[in-house]
Amino acid sequence: MDLKNVRNIGIIAHIDAGKTTTSERILFYTGKNYKIGEVHEGEATMDWMEQERERGITITSAATQCMWKSKYLNVDTTTTINLIDTPGHVDFTAEVERSLRVLDGGVAVFDGSQGVEPQSETVWRQADKYSVPRLAFVNKMDKIGGDFYMSLKSIHDRLSKNAVAIQLPVGAESDFTAIIDLIEEEMVTFEGEHGEKHIHQPIPEDMKEKVKEYRAIMMEKAAEGAGEELMDKFLTNGTLTKDEVKAALRQGTITGKTFPVLCGSSLKNMGVQLVLDAVVNYLPNPFDAPPVKGTNPDNGQEEVRKPDNNEPLACLAFKIATDPFVGRLTFVRVYSGILKSGSYVINTRTGNKERIGRLVRLHANNRTEIDTIEAGDIGAVIGLKDTRTGDSLCDEAQPILLESITFAEPVISLAIEPKTKGDQERMGMALQKLTEEDPTLRVRTDEETGQTILAGMGELHLDIIMDRMKREFKVESTSGKPQVAYRETIQKSVEHEEKYIKQTGGRGQYGHVLFTIYPQEHGKGYEFENSVVGGRIPREFISPCDKGFQEGLSRGVVAGFPMVDVKVELTDGSSHDVDSSEIAFKICSSIGIQAAARKADPVLLEPIMKVEVVCPEDYFGDVMGDISARRGLIKDTGNRGMAKTVLADVPLAAMFGYATELRSMSQGRASYSMEPSHYAKVSKNVAEAVIAARAGGK
C-alpha cells in the first residue's frame, strides 16, 4: 500500500452540527454503503449502538475505511481514507481525545446557523493540543438562519484568524442552491437523487464581486502559510496559479498555519464530495505527519519512528471495545513496521509479551479479517489480554514507549447496587469491561458503606453506562442520586511532627517524621519533596513515607473527600534499629498528614461547570435569573443569529435536572451545553450542608 495515498482523518464537532450525517454521506459517495442512513430516522451506520440510534447522538467513535477517487496533484488517484466519527457531547470527551491522538488530520464540522459553539471550541483546542491539521466544513447551509459569513467570522473570532474560505455558498437557507469553488473559479451544482452528479458552471454575475474579494483574501492567506518563495512570488505578481494556490494551501494546512473553510449541506447532499476532494488535496498522509516520538524504556533516551514498513514495529492502542461476537477488540494505529497476525509484541507499560491473534478491518461494527496492518494504517486486534487505552505495543528487540493519552478526571458519581445475588457477579464483570473501554469511568467501593461507587463525566455519561449494563450485560441494578465529586485542600502552610510507637510484646513499631505541608495552586496536584539529610530517616523508609502521605490525603479532614493540590516536604525524623519498618513509617506519615491538615485551614472545593445557554430573547431574563439562583456567576452574554447566549460558571451541584427545567422554562426552545471548568472553594452554608449529608449518609 502506498502511504502517500492514505488519509487518517476524524470528523470532530459540537453536538448536532451534523458529524454523523456527514460521515454517512462520505460512506455513500465512496461506495461503502448502498443507501444513506439518516440519524433522525435512527438508521445511521456509524451510530450502531442502540442508545445512539434512540437518542440521535454519537457515543462511541466508530472507525471505518473507504476509498475515494479524485485528482491529487493533477493525477487521477484512489485514496484510502480511515475515517473516525467522534462524539460531540462533552460527557464523551475521552472518545474525541483518544481519536485525535492517532489521527493525521481532521474535518471540523460547524452548524451554519450557529457558527462556533462551546463544544466546537473544546474539540478545536483538543486538536491544537495534538497538532492535528484540519479543514472546516460549515454545514446546514440550508437551515433557517444558515449564514456562512457569520460562521466564518465566528471561526476567526473564537478559533483562528488563519481560517480561510476556499468556497462560497450561492444563496442561503431554503435558497441555498450551489457552491462556488474559489480556486477553480466556477460554480458547482449537485444533481441526481443523492446529489451524486456535480455540474460545473460559470459564476453568476451577481456573485463576481464577492468572488473577487474572497479569492484575493484566499491567495494572500495561502501565500502567507506556505513559506517565503510563494510569498515573494505573490508579492511580485499579485497572484498565484491554481496549482500554486493548491500547493500553498496544502503546505499551510499540514503545518497548521492555514485552515481551509468549505460549505454545504450534508442532509441535502450538497458539498460532501468537495470535502472529500479537499481531504485528499490538503490533509496530510502519514509521511507528511511528523515522525512519532517515544522513549526507550531501557535507557530513557528519546527515539523516533518513521512511517516505514522497514522500521521496528511501534503501535498505539487507542481504544478498547467489547464485541458480543469476538470479545475484546483493541483499536491500534501502527506508526512504524508491520503488525502481523500470529506474531508476538511487547506491551511497554507492563513489560509482558502479547500474542496478536486475529487482525480485522472495521466498518462501524462489521469486520473483515486481514493478515497485516502496515505503517500509517489503523485496524483492530482480537485477542489481546492485558492491553489498555494508551498502551504502546512494539517489537520485542527494540521497545519504545510512545506518549500516552491523558484524560480528564470524573466530576460526578453515584452509588449502584445489583438487584439480585445473580446480578452481583455479572455487575462486577460488566463494570470491569466498561472501565477497560472507557478511561473516564472509575469504579471504587466505599469502605464505610460497602457500596459500589461509579464516577464519570456527567449525568448523560452515567445514564448511558447504566443503560449499557442492562442491555449488553443483562445486569439489573438500582442507583442512588448522583453525587458531586467534591475535593478538599488546605489554605496555609503547617509544620508538623508525628511519632508512631507501638509495643505489642516482641518486636514493636517505631516511626518518627517531621514535615511541612504547603498549599499549591489549583491543578498542581500532589507533590513530595525529600529534604532529609544525614540519613536521619534511612533511604528505604522514604518511599513508604511518601505512600503514607498520599494515603492520608485520600481521606480529607473536612468531609472525607480526597485532598488535592498539597505539597509535602519531609524535613527530618528518626528511626529505631529494631522496631522501625516500612509499615511503621507509612502509618506514621498517614496519621501525621491528617493531623497537619486539620491545622492548615482545610476547605471544601466543588467542581464548577462552564455553562452556555442559547435561548430566544423572550426567555433571556428568566434564564439569567435561574442561573443566578443556582449560585451561577454570569461571565458574558451575547447574540448568535436570532438567539441570545449566556455564558456562566455554575457549581455542578446546582445543575442536576437542569435540562428538564430549561425545557419547561423556554417551552423547549432553549438549549445548553456544559463542560468542567475548575474547582472552587465552597461557601460556608453549602459546606455545612455537604458535611451534614455525608455524616447522615454514614
Greater pLDDT, 676 or 541: 541
Residue spans of the domains in the chain: they are: 3-215+258-282, 292-402, 412-485, 488-600, 604-697
| Residue-wise DSSP of 46-63 | S--SHHHHHHTS--S-EE
Instruction: Tell me the CA distances in angstroms from 487 to 410, 430, 681, 697, one per residue in order.
Output: 12, 28, 9, 17
Determine which helix (DSSP H) or strand (DSSP E) holds 424, and give its type and residue range: helix 421-437
Q: Mean pLDDT across the stretch 627-654?
A: 90
Share of the chain above pLDDT 70, in %: 90
Check whether 141 has a pLDDT greater than 90. Answer: yes
Q: Mean pLDDT across the stretch 1-18?
A: 82
pLDDT digits (tens, 9 = 90+) for 39-71: 444 444 443 345 534 444 433 445 678 888 887
- 85 — pLDDT class (breaks 50, 70, 90): low
Greater pLDDT, 471 or 1: 471
Greater pLDDT, 654 or 361: 654
- 497 — pLDDT class (breaks 50, 70, 90): very high
Check whether 311 has a pLDDT greater than 80. Answer: yes
Report the topology of domain 604-697: Alpha-Beta Plaits (3.30.70)
Q: What is the pTM of this model?
A: 0.72
- Per-residue model confidence (pLDDT) at position 641: 67
- 158 — pLDDT class (breaks 50, 70, 90): confident
Specify the length of the chain in residues. 698
State the Cα–Cα distance between residues 613 and 596, nearest whole angstrom: 43
Q: Mean pLDDT across the stretch 482-501?
A: 92
Check whether 598 has a pLDDT greater than 70. Answer: yes
- Per-residue model confidence (pLDDT) at position 35: 45
| Residues 414/483, Cβ–Cβ less than 8 Å | yes
Q: C-alpha cell of 15?
A: 453536538
Torsion sign over Cα 355, 359, 364, 368: negative
- 218 — pLDDT class (breaks 50, 70, 90): very high
pLDDT digits (tens, 9 = 90+) for 349-372: 888 999 998 898 866 446 788 999
Residues 6+ apart with CB under 8 A from 432: none
Q: Under CATH, which architecture does the 488-600 domain have?
A: 2-Layer Sandwich (3.30)
Q: What is the mean pLDDT of the chain?
A: 85
Weakest mean pLDDT among 47-61, 407-421, 487-501, 520-534 = 47-61
- Per-residue model confidence (pLDDT) at position 59: 35
Strand partners, 197: 191
Helix crossing, 542-553 with 582-599: angle to 10°? Answer: 40
- 103 — pLDDT class (breaks 50, 70, 90): confident
Q: Is domain 292-402 given the CATH code 2.40.30.10 in the classification?
A: yes
- Per-residue model confidence (pLDDT) at position 651: 94
State the Cα–Cα distance between residues 592 and 28, nearest whole angstrom: 65
Q: Mean pLDDT across the stretch 211-222?
A: 92
- 92 — pLDDT class (breaks 50, 70, 90): low
Check whether 469 has a pLDDT greater than 90. Answer: no
Q: Mean pLDDT across the stretch 437-448?
A: 79
- Per-residue model confidence (pLDDT) at position 450: 73
Share of the chain above pLDDT 90, in %: 40
- Per-residue model confidence (pLDDT) at position 423: 86
| Residues 210/168, Cβ–Cβ less than 8 Å | yes
Q: Which one is the CATH code of 412-485: 3.40.50.1100, 3.40.50.720, 3.40.30.10, 3.30.70.870? A: 3.30.70.870
- 627 — pLDDT class (breaks 50, 70, 90): very high
**Secondary-structure class of domain 3-215+258-282 per CATH:** alpha beta
Asked if the domains at 412-485 and 604-697 fall in one CATH topology, the answer is: yes
Weakest mean pLDDT among 56-70, 96-110, 127-141, 516-530 = 56-70
Check whether 72 has a pLDDT greater than 80. Answer: no
- Per-residue model confidence (pLDDT) at position 324: 66
| Residues 283/37, Cβ–Cβ less than 8 Å | no
State the Cα–Cα distance between residues 655 and 632, nearest whole angstrom: 10
- What do you get for the CA distance between the two ends of the chain, in Å? 62
State the Cα–Cα distance between residues 336 and 311, nearest whole angstrom: 6
Greater pLDDT, 282 or 423: 282
Determine which helix (DSSP H) or strand (DSSP E) holds 643, and give its type and residue range: strand 643-651
State the Cα–Cα distance between residues 649 and 546, nearest whole angstrom: 36
State the Cα–Cα distance between residues 76 and 395, nearest whole angstrom: 37
- Per-residue model confidence (pLDDT) at position 623: 95
Q: Mean pLDDT across the stretch 436-460?
A: 80
Q: Mean pLDDT across the stretch 467-473?
A: 83
Q: Mean pLDDT across the stretch 240-258?
A: 91
Greater pLDDT, 391 or 33: 391
- Per-residue model confidence (pLDDT) at position 49: 43
- Per-residue model confidence (pLDDT) at position 34: 45
State the Cα–Cα distance between residues 349 and 586, nearest whole angstrom: 27
- Per-residue model confidence (pLDDT) at position 32: 54
- 470 — pLDDT class (breaks 50, 70, 90): confident
- Per-residue model confidence (pLDDT) at position 697: 61
Instruction: Tell me the CA distances in angstroms from 184 to 162, 195, 245, 555, one per residue in order.
Output: 21, 20, 10, 65
Instruction: Name residue, grid cell 503547617.
Output: 494
Weakest mean pLDDT among 228-237, 552-561, 575-584 = 228-237
Determine which helix (DSSP H) or strand (DSSP E) holds 46, and give its type and residue range: none
Check whether 406 has a pLDDT greater than 80. Answer: no
- Per-residue model confidence (pLDDT) at position 46: 43
- Identity at 185, one-letter amino acid code: E
